[in-house]
């Protein structure tokens, strides 16, 4: 008997492998959804191979399908699915976040539950982040709680599922932040830590509202509260930034009207009290209470006895009673934590009135004397402590004094509780310590307490001298007025309805015309006069009769006409490539003869150019697909010719070649170098190859490069942005292939010469003295950016220094020597022939032609400069590059040039060779002071100096070099002088060690 789950496994296997076409993909996506009963109706026609209704199970198959979609389908087919009508990308979203039409089904909630687990255990990309946004909005934590606890399973299994769910939900902001930090992108607002965690906190209030109707189901949320405490959702003070979440700051605006209004529900208050008291950890409960007390609205004037302030105090006390319950010694854990926070933490003075009113139980007509008496005893101990009296600040003294006097004011005169205070040894000792205090304001706090407590217990104690505005006397008089009445006796009445209603998302909604008729800010309002006259009549069209011609179609109508399938019968459109093998087929063909209904070659090439760079950069880091197809793509795009006069052909082709080198350097760079030395390519194609090597290498080395044509959000690599000046310079240079490399090399050589100038300045006494007399500016404080912890599972990023020698510079130099040997051998074989039968290796369009050879030397200069930090630089890269520069600059590359009477290297080649030597020498000095080059390659160094000196001497005598003159002559003379200075600097430093003592 065949297992019905085999078909589901076969579907998963097909999703994990390359898919032939869009129709096959749609069939694979619709079948499982239809089996689960959540397939949208508009996609039923694509379900050509339906699965049995019970073949897909949530536990066995859904996670595998979701992971296949994230890792294989979305990175490849996302754009194609989105362009399809209806939007087929909705099918993939349905596997993670089913739409609201089916959200009431239990299977939808289970899919969302699995989606959190699958996404957070996979590599989080842009698609995963979009799915998390949808999940946070449509399936918040209260919905997931309903999904878990509505299942018919054992309670222990439900608790385990709930704990896993909570762990996944609260870890979303951290996972997203780590993923976005790697791409240097902004985090979506809904997934920022503060916004997201506040949303989770808000859903806790929804759960409490639900538990008020079913009290037996509220025990599981205490685990969620504990998790929120661990991630900082209960701060000890109100948040000051958007990124800081706060449970009570978010929920108190929602709780207040429910516990203080006419429709107050006792069951709602009981649900909050049971939830908080069910928190098992004392430390967790302490964090919850601290955050709640700090989130209360404190009174602006702490000693103001007005009715308005007393109502405000009683309102906050009633809020505490509703959420935490009546504070008494019966609740040992709550009592110990609350009193400890009240007495040991530094609070503002106004909080003393709220705390005492809460202890007095504002919801009852009877004062909670038992709790007040126990609390007063604790206050007397804290107030009388010698350490407090000697070392506390004035604000702390006034806070504890307010607690003392307010608590005592709730007892009747000469009551047993007050008599116990008077007879307490600690109280008497505290009075003595206060009176002997040196600070007059603090001393008056003790005198005020002693005098008021004595009056309450019919004792005679009058200090006098309370009039005046010095030494805290006004505060003492205000406290006397404040305790004449009690805050708990204030009449709150019915709170007025707020003009703004706070919804579940925390946004305020206003009804129309409630704020007057003012215009909406940010919109301009144009007012015309009653006559209708407009000062700018030039914008008014002339009146003309209706034309007999039909109106021209609008751009949207033209687009619809183009997409009309009835107008393109018999012609197949070129499908957008989603695999790199398909991209290679578009530019290289399959070798098959095309039929009359097949797309034209121009359409294929245009499709490849439009989407090639984006596809290559998206495939970077996704398995081995790019590595397997990189060489084939190099051959295809390098050999392209603009036979069809396509728009932006050169720019698009160059961008694709740059992306191949930057994304697959180990495969693309050696293949491109090997192709460069073949004689089948034109000068234009060779320039494309050299530009690709240079720009790809600089991108790998994190150096400035011209910006990519593809927007950053469509790829996964972070674009390198140039400063504005260099951006405009390279942008203008990129319009021509032959001007980009000279500008880069000129910039590098100028910097090398400037570094030599700075080094020689230290030898001039006048310059040294001027520098010493210059006042140095103090360093400014700069922001230190935090480093995000990257996942260990992320692959190691390839840098240019790791592969510069093996895959770029050495192959480029070695192939040149082999090419030069072969070309000179071929010239020698035909040297006895005449006319067109005689081969000339430096002919037009060939590599040894000055136009191409100078460009090759410039490209090598840029590569050498970018690889300065490579481990092979001093031993291999620098001497080999310098030897190549000296050889080309001193010896002819063609036998035909040797037979001429005057051997002269082209000025462009000579300048490029000197600039290469200058960059190598500057790099050696910067790396090890020139020790390795000077001691291990002494002959090469002296040869470089003699060569540069000979060139400089010729130019100084006025001898003209072929191809020179104008700006080229200035550049050549500057390069020769720069090499001479570098050689002199290096030899003067290691001259004694260069002497051979053998």
Kindly state the average pLDDT of the residues 929-945: 92
What is residue 536's predicted lDDT score, i.e. its pLDDT? 42
CA–CA dist 693, 444 (Å, integer) = 82
pLDDT at 3: 56
pLDDT band at 859 (very low <50, low <70, confident <90, very high): very high
DSSP string, 609-674: HHHHHHHHHHTTTSTTHHHHHHHHHHHHHHT---TT--TTHHHHHHHHHHHHHHH-HHHHHHHHHH
The per-residue pLDDT for 229 is 94
Confidence of residue 855 (pLDDT cuts 50, 70, 90): very high
Render pLDDT for 100-126 as a digit per residue (tens, 0 to 9): 888 888 899 999 999 999 999 998 888
- Assign 571 a pLDDT band (cuts: 50, 70, 90): low
Q: How far apart are CA 234 and CA 288, in angstroms?
A: 6
Q: How confident is the model at residue 24 (pLDDT cuts 50, 70, 90)?
A: very high
Say yes or no to pLDDT of 649 above 90. yes
The answer on pLDDT for 965 being more than 80 is no
pLDDT score, position 792:
43
- Name the more confident of 527 and 715: 715
Interstrand relation of 508-509 and 501-502 (parallel, antiparallel or unpaired): antiparallel
Are 661 and 697 in contact, with CB atoms under 8 Å apart? yes
Domains and CATH numbers, the chain: 296-491 (no CATH), 580-717 (1.25.40.720), 819-894+904-995 (no CATH)
Is the pLDDT reported for residue 666 higher than 50?
Answer: yes
pLDDT of residue 715: 56
Per-residue confidence at 5, pLDDT binned at 50, 70, 90? low
Looking at residue 804, the DSSP 8-state letter turns out to be I
3-state secondary structure of 870: coil
For 426-459, write each residue's pLDDT tens digit: 999 999 999 888 888 898 899 999 999 998 988 8
> Residue 25: CB partners within 8 Å, gap ≥ 6?
19, 73, 77, 81
In the prediction, which pLDDT does 543 show?
Answer: 46
Give bridge partners of residue 508 from the DSSP assignment: 502
| Range from 61-75, 132-146, 561-575 carrying the lowest mean pLDDT | 561-575
Residue 599, pLDDT above cutoff 90? no
**CA 51: distance to chain centroid?**
41
pTM: 0.70
Residue 562 has a pLDDT of 61
Task: Report yes or no: 239 and 222 within 8 Å, Cβ to Cβ.
Answer: no
Contacts of residue 659, defined as CB under 8 A and 6 or more positions apart, other chains included, come to 612, 613, 616, 617, 696, 708
Q: How many residues can be counted in the chain?
A: 998
User: What are the tens digits of pLDDT across the range 209-233?
Assistant: 888 877 655 568 899 999 999 999 9
Q: What is the pLDDT of residue 522?
A: 37
Which residues, 6 or more positions from 817, have their beta carbon under 8 angstroms from its beta carbon? Answer: none
What percent of the chain clears pLDDT 70, i.e. is strictly above it? 80
Peptide bond preceding 765 in cis form (omega within 30 of 0): no
User: Would you tell me the crossing angle of helices 307-324 and 282-294 to the nearest 10 degrees?
Assistant: 160
> Bigger pLDDT: 494 or 36?
36
As given in the structure block, the two tokens for residue 156 are 């222990």
Tell me: the pLDDT tens digits for 806-820?
999 999 999 999 999
Residue 229 CB-half CA count within 13 A: 21
Helix (H) or strand (E) holding 509: strand 508-509
Q: What is the DSSP string of 386-403?
A: HHHHHH--HHHHHHHHHH
pLDDT digits (tens, 9 = 90+) for 749-807: 888 888 766 555 555 555 445 544 444 444 455 444 444 444 444 456 789 999 999 99
pLDDT value at residue 737: 55
- pLDDT higher than threshold 60 for residue 566: no
Confidence of residue 542 (pLDDT cuts 50, 70, 90): very low
pLDDT in tens, 228-263: 999 999 999 888 887 789 999 999 999 998 888 755
Q: Write out pLDDT tens, residues 36-78.
A: 999 998 889 988 888 888 888 888 899 999 999 999 998 888 8
- Distance linking the first and last C-alpha atoms of the chain: 90
pLDDT reading at 547 higher than 70: no
Cα Rg of the chain (Å, integer)? 41
Burial label for 964, CB within 10 Å (0-12, 13-18, 19+), is buried
Q: What is the mean pLDDT of residues 622-643?
A: 92
pLDDT band at residue 963, thresholds of 50, 70 and 90? low
**Is residue 552's pLDDT more than 90?**
no
Q: Kindly provide the residue ranges of all beta strands, DSSP E only, lying in 723-831, ordered along the sequence.
A: none
81 with 92: CB under 8 angstroms?
A: yes
The chain-wide mean pLDDT, for the chain, equals 82
- Give the Cα separation of 695 and 190 in Å (integer): 37
Overall average pLDDT of the 269-293 stretch: 92
């Amino acid at each position: 008997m065949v297992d019905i789950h085999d078909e589901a496994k076969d579907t998963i296997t097909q999703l994990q492998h390359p898919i032939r076409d869009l129709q096959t993909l749609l069939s694979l996506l619709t079948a499982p959804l239809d089996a689960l009963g959540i397939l949208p109706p508009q996609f039923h026609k694509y379900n050509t191979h339906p699965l049995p209704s019970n073949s897909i199970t949530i536990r066995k198959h859904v996670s595998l399908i979701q992971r296949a979609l994230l890792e294989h389908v979305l990175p490849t087919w996302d754009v194609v699915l989105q362009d399809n009508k209806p939007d087929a990308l909705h099918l993939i979203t349905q596997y993670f976040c089913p739409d609201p039409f089916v959200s009431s089904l239990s299977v939808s909630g289970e899919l969302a539950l699995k989606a959190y687990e699958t996404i957070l255990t996979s590599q989080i990309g842009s698609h995963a982040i979009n799915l998390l946004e949808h999940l946070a909005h449509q399936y918040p934590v209260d919905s997931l709680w309903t999904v878990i606890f509505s299942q018919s399973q054992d309670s222990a299994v439900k608790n385990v599922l709930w704990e896993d769910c909570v762990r996944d939900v609260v870890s979303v902001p951290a996972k997203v932040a780590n993923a976005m930090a790697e791409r240097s992108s902004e985090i979506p607002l809904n997934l920022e830590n503060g916004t997201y965690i506040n949303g989770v906190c808000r859903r806790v209030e929804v759960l409490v509202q639900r538990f008020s109707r079913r009290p037996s189901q509220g025990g599981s949320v205490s685990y969620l509260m504990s998790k929120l405490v661990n991630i900082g959702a209960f701060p000890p003070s109100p948040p000051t930034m958007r990124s800081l979440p706060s449970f009570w700051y978010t929920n108190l605006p929602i709780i207040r009207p429910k516990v203080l209004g006419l429709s107050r529900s006792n069951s709602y208050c009981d649900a909050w009290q049971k939830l908080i008291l069910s928190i098992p950890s004392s430390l967790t409960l302490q964090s919850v209470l601290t955050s709640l007390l700090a989130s209360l609205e404190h009174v602006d004037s702490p000693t103001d006895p007005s009715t308005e302030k007393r109502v405000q105090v009683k309102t906050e006390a009633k809020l505490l009673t509703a959420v935490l319950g009546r504070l008494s010694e019966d609740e040992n854990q709550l009592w110990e934590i609350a009193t400890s926070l009240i007495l040991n933490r530094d609070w503002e003075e106004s909080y003393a009135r709220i705390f005492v009113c809460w202890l007095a139980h504002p919801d009852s007509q009877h004062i909670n004397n038992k709790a007040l008496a126990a609390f007063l005893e604790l206050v007397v101990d804290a107030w009388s402590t010698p350490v407090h009296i000697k070392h506390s600040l004035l604000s702390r003294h006034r806070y504890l004094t307010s607690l003392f006097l307010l608590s005592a004011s709730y007892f009747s005169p000469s009551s047993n509780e007050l008599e116990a205070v008077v007879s307490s040894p600690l109280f008497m000792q505290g009075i003595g310590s206060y009176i002997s205090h040196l600070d007059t304001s603090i001393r008056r706090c003790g005198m005020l307490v002693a005098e008021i407590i004595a009056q309450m217990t019919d004792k005679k104690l009058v200090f006098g001298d309370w009039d005046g505005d010095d030494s805290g006397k006004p505060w003492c008089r205000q406290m006397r007025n404040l305790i004449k009445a009690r805050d708990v006796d204030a009449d709150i009445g019915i709170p007025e309805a707020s003009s703004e209603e706070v919804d579940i998302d925390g946004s305020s909604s206003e009804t129309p015309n409630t704020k007057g008729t003012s215009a909406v800010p940010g919109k301009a309002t144009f007012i015309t006069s009653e006559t209708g006259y407009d000062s700018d009549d030039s914008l008014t069209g002339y009146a003309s009769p209706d034309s007999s011609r039909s109106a021209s179609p609008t751009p949207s109508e033209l687009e619809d006409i183009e997409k009309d399938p009835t107008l393109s019968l018999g012609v197949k459109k070129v499908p957008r490539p989603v695999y790199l093998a398909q991209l290679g087929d578009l530019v290289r063909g399959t070798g098959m003869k095309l039929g009359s209904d097949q797309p034209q070659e121009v359409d294929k090439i245009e499709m490849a150019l439009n989407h090639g760079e984006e596809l290559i950069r998206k495939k970077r880091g996704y398995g081995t697909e790019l590595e397997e197809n990189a060489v084939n793509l190099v051959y295809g795009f390098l050999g392209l010719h603009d036979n069809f006069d396509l728009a932006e052909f050169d720019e698009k082709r160059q961008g694709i070649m740059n992306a191949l080198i930057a994304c697959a350097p180990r495969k693309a760079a050696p293949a491109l170098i090997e192709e460069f030395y073949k004689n089948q390519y034109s000068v234009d194609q060779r320039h494309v190859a050299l530009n690709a090597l240079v720009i790809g290498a600089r991108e790998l080395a994190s150096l400035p490069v011209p910006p990519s044509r593809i927007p950053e959000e469509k790829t996964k690599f972070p674009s390198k942005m140039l400063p504005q000046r260099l951006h405009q310079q390279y942008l203008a240079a990129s319009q021509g292939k032959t001007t980009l490399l000279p500008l880069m090399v000129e910039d590098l050589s100028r910097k090398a010469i400037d570094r030599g100038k700075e080094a020689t300045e230290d030898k001039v006494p006048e310059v040294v003295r001027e520098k010493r007399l210059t006042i140095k500016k103090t360093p400014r404080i700069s922001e230190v950016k935090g480093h995000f912890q990257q996942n260990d599972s992320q692959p190691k990023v390839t840098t240019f220094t790791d592969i510069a020698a093996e895959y770029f510079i050495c192959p480029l130099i070695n192939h040149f020597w082999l090419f030069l040997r072969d070309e000179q051998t071929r010239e020698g074989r035909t040297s006895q022939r005449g006319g067109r039968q005689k081969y000339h290796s430096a002919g037009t369009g060939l590599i040894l032609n000055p136009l191409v050879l100078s460009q090759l030397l410039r490209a090598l200069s840029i590569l050498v400069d970018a690889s300065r930090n490579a481990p092979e630089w001093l031993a291999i890269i620098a001497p080999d590059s310098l030897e190549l520069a000296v050889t080309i600059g001193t010896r002819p590359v063609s036998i035909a040039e040797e037979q001429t009477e005057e051997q002269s290297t082209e000025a462009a080649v000579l300048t490029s060779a000197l600039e290469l030597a200058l960059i190598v020498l500057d790099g050696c000095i910067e790396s090890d002071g020139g020790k390795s080059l000077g001691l291990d390659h002494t002959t090469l160094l002296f040869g470089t100096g003699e060569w540069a000196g000979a060139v400089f001497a010729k130019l100084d005598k006025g001898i003209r070099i072929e191809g020179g003159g104008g700006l080229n002559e200035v550049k050549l003379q500057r390069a020769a002088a720069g090499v001479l200075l570098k050689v002199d600097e290096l030899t003067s430093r290691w001259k004694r060690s260069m002497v051979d003592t053998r």
